[in-house]
Amino acid sequence: MKASPIAYFNSNDGTGMFAYGETASIQLSRGIDQVQAFIDEHEGNYLIGCVSYDVKNEIFDLQSTNKDAVNFPSLLFWKPSVVYSISEKGIHQVQGQRLKEAEVYLAAFLDKEQEKCTPLGSAFKATISKDEYLEKIKKIQAQIQYGNSYEVNFCQTFTAENCQIEDAEQLYFKLNSITKAPFSVYLSWNEFNVLCGSPERYIQKKGDQLISQPIKGTAPRHTNVEKDEQLKTKLKNSQKERAENTMIVDLVRNDLARLAKKNSVEVPEFCTIYSFETVHQLISTVSCELKEKTTFTDCLKATFPMGSMTGAPKLRTMEIIEELEDFQRGLYAGSIGYIAPNGDFDFNVVIRSLLYNQTLKTASLSVGGAITIQSNPEEEYEECLVKIQRIMNGLNE
């Protein structure tokens, strides 16, 4: 079963969206304004979009020289041939002409959730050792001590080379059974597959309202209910974790203020605990009322990359990240989403995700965490493993 492109947005609450094929597309290494022209040209249609982290280079006039293991396009937008809305009431076509092959494909795709998945059979190896990771955290804390940053989202990547994924769709459902996240996505584009189990929303527009929901603060889940509740309470009361979240909320408020009508930026939800399959997280919601005629790429230029994946202040912190990370993030720490026919949109943060290049036979899983002056390097390393280990293990079971 092979088709491209495919995009499946799975909220894990019985609702979702499935896009099949494409009638127009734009794929760029740079060119945010060209993306907006493409969006304007196809106004009134569903459009799928992918924005890689390194689009920061265009927005902030930066450079990336680290190795990119997967080479996913920096900017990719397309108009699907057919779009289906999925809900408890059923599956309804909302774009395109009826296409029998798309209906057959969708039915077979959804059936894969019930199939037994063949283990991946490839070991993921960290590109830096634990000792190297700990040393880099100390360098970050020195930068914070110098006053160059308050908080740095430092990431590491695990790669599998000579990796042959026989059925990426089946493997996606295996990953989804582990994460069961609200911003889960499966995507296929040419030689690329993205298996995304993201719990985080980057930005959503409804009418003239824009919201962002940054995650900062993590605790593991426990199978024992009482111990799980203790971990949740510890996270809720952690001054360190709440401080991390507060810094990013301030950054997001500042980003949204560039787009907002006067005095409309609000924080309706602050440091609320959300529990997912593998972790508890602290999530805040920042909202604003958009100025008239604000475009999608206006929002992108003002808010990307999302503060939860950079730290603060954004520009200098991204420079520190580039100096100390040993890989180019690509689509990881970027965003996948869709623009609706009425101009509303919803985009996630690409985390807890497997990125795969069929041609290179390379897969990557990346993970990061917020580093502050209070961070304990050993604990930060363990937090990364909490976020990613169950996924790595689960895909090979």
Q: Is 200 an active-site residue?
A: yes
Judged against a pLDDT cut of 50, whether residue 1 lies above it is answered with no
**Closest to 258 measured CA to CA, from 217, 304, 218:** 304
The predicted structure's pLDDT at residue 137: 98
Q: Are 330 and 54 in contact (CB under 8 A)?
A: yes
Query: Token pair for residue 60?
Result: 């902030």
Taking only the tens place, the pLDDT of each residue in 239-259 is 989 999 999 999 999 999 999
Active-site residue, selected from the candidate residues 56, 79, 216, 387: 216
DSSP assigned state of 238? -
- DSSP 3-state of 106: helix
Apex 295 CA angle, 293 and 301, nearest 5: 130
Pairing of strands 16-20, 82-87: antiparallel
Which residues are CB-contacts of 191 (< 8 A; sequence separation ≥ 6)?
357, 358, 359, 360
Q: Is 151 an active-site residue?
A: no
Mean pLDDT of 139-145: 98
Mean pLDDT of 361-379: 95
Which residues are CB-contacts of 202 (< 8 A; sequence separation ≥ 6)?
212, 303, 304, 306, 335, 337, 347, 348, 349
Active-site residue, selected from the candidate residues 58, 151, 169, 200: 200
Q: State the DSSP H helix or E strand holding residue 100, giving kind and residue range, or none if neither.
A: helix 100-111
Average pLDDT of the chain, as a whole number: 96
Q: How many CB atoms are closer than 10 A to CB 338?
A: 20
**What are residue 159's DSSP bridge partners?**
125, 364
Mean pLDDT of 160-174: 95
Share of the chain above pLDDT 90, in %: 94
Q: State the DSSP H helix or E strand holding residue 131, giving kind and residue range, or none if neither.
A: helix 130-145
Taking only the tens place, the pLDDT of each residue in 180-218 is 999 999 999 999 999 999 999 999 999 999 999 999 988
- State how far the alpha carbon of 385 is from the alpha carbons of 25, 215, 352, in Å: 37, 17, 11
The predicted structure's pLDDT at residue 397: 87
Residue with tokens 């798309």, as numbered in its chain:
102
The model's confidence at residue 277, banded by pLDDT at 50, 70 and 90, is: confident
**Angstrom distance (rounded) from CA 336 to CA 187:** 9
The model's confidence at residue 386, banded by pLDDT at 50, 70 and 90, is: confident
The model's confidence at residue 2, banded by pLDDT at 50, 70 and 90, is: low
- DSSP 3-state of 174: helix
Domains defined along the chain, listed by start: 6-395 (3.60.120.10)
What is the DSSP track for 285-321?
EEEEEBPTT--HHHHHHHHPSPGGGTEESHHHHHHHH
Pairing of strands 90-95, 209-213: unpaired
Q: Are 253 and 266 in contact (CB under 8 A)?
A: no
Judged against a pLDDT cut of 50, whether residue 98 lies above it is answered with yes
What is the DSSP track for 12-41?
SSS-EEEEE--SEEEEESS-HHHHHHHHHH
- State how far the alpha carbon of 7 is from the alpha carbons of 24, 80, 231, 334, in Å: 15, 9, 35, 16
**Closest to 90 measured CA to CA, from 21, 19, 12, 16:** 16
Share of the chain above pLDDT 70, in %: 99
Q: Are 32 and 289 in contact (CB under 8 A)?
A: no
Query: Token pair for residue 164?
Result: 């042959």
Question: Can you give the pTM of this predicted structure?
Answer: 0.96
- State how far the alpha carbon of 397 is from the alpha carbons of 121, 123, 167, 293, 326, in Å: 9, 12, 15, 50, 29
**Angstrom distance (rounded) from CA 352 to CA 186:** 12
